[in-house]
A = this chain, B = another copy of it.
Amino acid sequence: MDQKKNKRVTIYDLATELNVSPSTVSRALKDHFSIGQKTTAAVKALAKKRGYRPNLIASNLRNQQTNTIGVLVPWLNRPFISTLISGVEESAQEAGYNVLIAQTRDSYEKEVINTKALFDCRVQAIIVSLAMETTDYGHFEDVIQQGTPVIFVDRVPSNFCGHQVMIDNYQTGHDATQHLINSGYQRIALLSGSLKQKIYQDRHAGYLAALKKNGIPVEEQLIGKSDRLTIEEGANLIAEMLKLPAPPDAVFSTNDSAAVGAMKHVQSIGLKVPEDIAFIGLNDDPVCTIITPNLSSMSHPAAEMGRLAVRQALEVITMPQESVGSTFMVRLNTQVVSRGSA
């Protein structure tokens, strides 16, 4: 095994060497019943000896399936998403599927390009969490129509019927707000992501509903919107609100990063958490138990959502043709994780 630099071994090579036909080799390698014991053994032995490895590209072309799932997310390096992908990878691998990833960086344009790219690779399903910018879903309609199922996770579309795995964002927004109200806070700020995205619309609606139910007036100045909800943006949003004549006494942030940024900011100017101002985030990222005081948050089962998305994807892939058109939706419940910040 040396002079032939990197010529890959094929079933033809094995067939030639054993004086059998390629089909025999092919069948023997997958324990086809019709091949004799000794032949099978001989083929396998030589395959191992020669370091034969099947060419999945050829196999995929022939079989018209790639056993690959595509994943398209805004960012790979965020706690919630990397954990979700970890769950996707785990379940996919168990089922014998590969995982092809791409990130949109929250750009609609990149989302369109990558959706096409994943389709071109003939992934058998695409698991998507929408870019912040996205409000048009034509690129997904295209691939769905061509037979590639799309499963939306977390950031799901609005006014578009498709498979979805998500949390109950309305209820989550409501419960977070109610939790603050229960603790006696009245002037509750909301740090929201772009209302272009349904999940932020729903969280926003839940927030409003909780206020209304408790007879608390809504103040638009206490509703901050941000496209990235980063630590910095969280700090900026709260900084503005603190300039108000009547600043908030509590904050519900629709993700933990912005909550952390806001919380660090108010602490940096001498305010006490939760005495002067309380916080609750959303996602229950690991950072919640590291910051002082620990950040209350809403649970958000990332890994489980990833696993569920794969399970549903596999179900759709193997779904009989007649049920094409029907969609499923998994909506997970969340709960308040109460810590020192609220």
Contact = CB atoms under 8 A, between A and B. Distances in A.
A330 interface: no
B93 A82 contact: no
A184 interface: no
Highest count of chain B CB atoms <10 Å: which of A66, A121, A287: A121
Contacts of A301: none
A82 B76 contact: yes
Given A53-B116, A61-B58, A291-B291, A324 B82 contact: no
A55 to B, nearest CB: 7
A58 to B, nearest CB: 5
Nearest to A148: B6
A271 interface: no
A75 B79 CA distance: 12
Contacts of A57: 57, 60-61, 66, 121-122
A51 B122 contact: no
B58 A76 contact: no
Nearest to A123: B98
Nearest to A263: B290
Highest count of chain B CB atoms <10 Å: which of A76, A121, A231: A76
Contacts of A239: none
Interface residues of A, number: 56
A124 to B, nearest CB: 12
Interface in A17-45: none
Contact of A93 (B102, B286, B290, B321): B102
Interface string A119-142: 111100000000000000000001
Nearest to A80: B77
B86 A147 contact: no
Contacts of A260: 290
Contacts of A75: 86
Contacts of A83: 76-77
Nearest to A143: B53
Contacts of A46: none
Interface string A76-100: 1111011101100110010000111
Nearest to A55: B122
Contacts of A183: none
A5 interface: yes
A246 interface: no
A8 interface: yes
A68 B82 CA distance: 21
Given A1-B145, A5-B321, A82-B82, 7 more contacts: A76-B85, A77-B79, A78-B82, A89-B102, A93-B102, A264-B290, A292-B292
Interface of A: 1, 5-6, 8, 51, 53-58, 60-61, 66, 68, 75-79, 81-83, 85-86, 89-90, 93, 98-103, 114, 116-117, 119-122, 142, 145-147, 231, 260, 264, 286-287, 290-292, 303, 321, 324
